[in-house]
């Protein structure tokens, strides 16, 4: 559609101009109003709030702000648990220090466990340069578009369509895709999928995930230690100032039960933000949000099974192999946003209005 205001050519279904943001619709009329009442709404029915119409630059910086905020909240919860335990035994500083030491130990173990484990769990083999020529070319194209070194390329034998990226630094990164995905996607869709994975690599999401997971793990461990009480009680009393204030103790028990749950919820919402972020940054690499949108639609129709799927690595994949397309988008403990919502946001980046159901 050609914008009457500035003459820019837009997508035929666009509801507003991608350049000057002018709406193509008469004021107050929704072009999807008819669809809301007629026929079955399909799997997208639970979507009440339409995705914000943002360009990929705006979407990306919004996601960065959101995930920083969530990460800060997670870190604050962690310090509060440490401090809370400390204060129950008389000294806030000791609690915080203990928490930080625990974090350092767990984080370094997690950091030095390489990505080779993930590869062997899912039976990934290095992509053959002759057979997987197109795949390697597309990865190289995206490494040029993103400006990061060419990652190693792996293939997993599976009829399901899925892909993941791993590696703490761009220099040692890898991407892996299933054979089912390679067989069914067009070049444009493959570009979208690979761009999403390169976006994870470029924004160091593996590191982000490790940090968040370790925070959650240490919060759970600290809370457990507190509830069992053993490592603290003796030390607190011998320290002299260890008058276990009863009110603090009750508060502490309350915190110790609630904190791990809150931390898990925060971790999962960080994970969902990172997925949205990778979608937006990937769209910046390909300049074509609709490629990934169309790939996601195919994946949701075909299934995202991978060999060796499990809860430990589910967050790595482009589409969670353990969840289904219709699952509720707002589920607090899911690693990925619902695929329907992601497609809606990608469409919005291309200037296509989301279908609004009900009003």
Residues that bind another protein (CB under 8 A): 133-134, 137-138, 140-142, 144-147, 187, 284-285, 287
Spatial CA neighbour of 168 closest among 211, 219, 105, 134:
211
Minimum CB separation of residue 38 from another protein in Å reads 37
Minimum CB separation of residue 134 from another protein in Å reads 6
Kindly tell me which of 267 and 288 has the beta carbon lying closer to another protein. Answer: 288
Given 141, 171, 189, 197, which residue is catalytic? 197
Kindly tell me which of 208 and 285 has the beta carbon lying closer to another protein. Answer: 285
Minimum CB separation of residue 169 from another protein in Å reads 16
Judging by DSSP bridges, how do beta strands 124-126 and 152-156 pair with one another?
antiparallel
Complete DSSP assignment for 38-59: SS--GGGTT--SPPP---HHHH
Kindly tell me which of 142 and 346 has the beta carbon lying closer to another protein. Answer: 142
Spell out a b/e string for 182-198, using b for 16 or more CB atoms within 10 Å of the CB, else e. Answer: bebbeeebbbbbbbbbb
CB 332 within 8 Å of CB 263: no
C-alpha gyration radius of the chain: 24
Say which residues have a Cβ less than 8 Å from residue 277's Cβ, sequence separation at least 6.
Answer: 60, 63, 64, 67, 199, 203, 205
**Whole-angstrom Cα distance, residue 164 to residue 201?**
10
DSSP-derived letter for residue 153 is: E
Kindly tell me which of 114 and 149 has the beta carbon lying closer to another protein. Answer: 149
Minimum CB separation of residue 21 from another protein in Å reads 20
Minimum CB separation of residue 175 from another protein in Å reads 16
For 159, the 3-state DSSP assignment is: coil
Judging by DSSP bridges, how do beta strands 152-156 and 174-178 pair with one another?
parallel
Active site (annotated) includes residue 140: no
**Whole-angstrom Cα distance, residue 197 to residue 142?**
10
Kindly tell me which of 204 and 323 has the beta carbon lying closer to another protein. Answer: 204
Q: Would you call 331 exposed, middle or buried from its count of C-beta atoms within 10 A (0-12, 13-18, 19+)? A: middle
Kindly tell me which of 233 and 287 has the beta carbon lying closer to another protein. Answer: 287
How far, CA to CA in Å, does 210 sit from each of 22, 80, 117, 220, 313? 43, 20, 14, 15, 12
Minimum CB separation of residue 145 from another protein in Å reads 4
- Residues carrying an active site annotation: 197
């Amino acid at each position: 559609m050609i914008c009457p205001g500035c003459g820019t050519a837009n997508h035929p279904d666009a509801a507003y101009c991608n350049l000057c943001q002018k709406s193509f619709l008469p004021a107050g009329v929704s072009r999807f109003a008819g669809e809301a009442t007629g026929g079955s709404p399909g799997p997208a029915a639970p979507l009440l709030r339409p995705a914000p119409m943002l360009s990929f630059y705006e979407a990306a910086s919004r996601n960065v702000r959101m995930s920083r905020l969530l990460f800060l909240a997670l870190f604050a919860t962690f310090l509060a648990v440490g401090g809370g335990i400390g204060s129950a035994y008389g000294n806030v500083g000791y609690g915080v220090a203990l928490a930080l030491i625990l974090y350092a130990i767990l984080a370094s173990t997690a950091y030095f466990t390489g990505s080779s484990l993930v590869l062997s769990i899912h039976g990934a083999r290095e992509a053959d340069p002759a057979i997987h020529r197109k795949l390697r070319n597309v990865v190289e194209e995206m490494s040029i578009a993103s400006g990061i070194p060419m990652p190693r390329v792996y293939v997993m034998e599976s009829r399901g369509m899925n892909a993941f990226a791993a590696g703490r630094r761009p220099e040692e990164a890898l991407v892996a895709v299933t054979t089912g995905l390679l067989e069914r996607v067009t070049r444009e869709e493959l570009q979208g999928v690979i761009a999403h994975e390169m976006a994870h690599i470029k924004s160091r999401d593996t590191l982000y995930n490790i940090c968040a997971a370790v925070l959650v793990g240490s919060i759970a461990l600290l809370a457990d230690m507190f509830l069992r009480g053993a490592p603290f009680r003796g030390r607190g009393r011998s320290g002299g100032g260890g008058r276990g204030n009863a009110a603090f103790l009750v508060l502490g028990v309350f915190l110790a039960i609630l904190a791990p749950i809150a931390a898990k919820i925060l971790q999962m919402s960080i994970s969902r933000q990172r997925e949205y972020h990778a979608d937006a940054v990937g769209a910046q690499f390909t300049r074509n949000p609709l490629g990934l949108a169309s790939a996601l639609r195919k994946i949701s129709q075909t299934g995202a099974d991978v060999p060796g799927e499990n809860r430990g690595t589910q967050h790595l994949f482009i589409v969670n192999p353990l969840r289904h397309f219709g699952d509720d988008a707002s589920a607090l403990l899911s690693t990925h946003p619902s695929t329907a919502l992601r497609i809606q946001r990608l469409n919005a980046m291309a200037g296509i209005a989301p279908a609004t159901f009900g009003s």
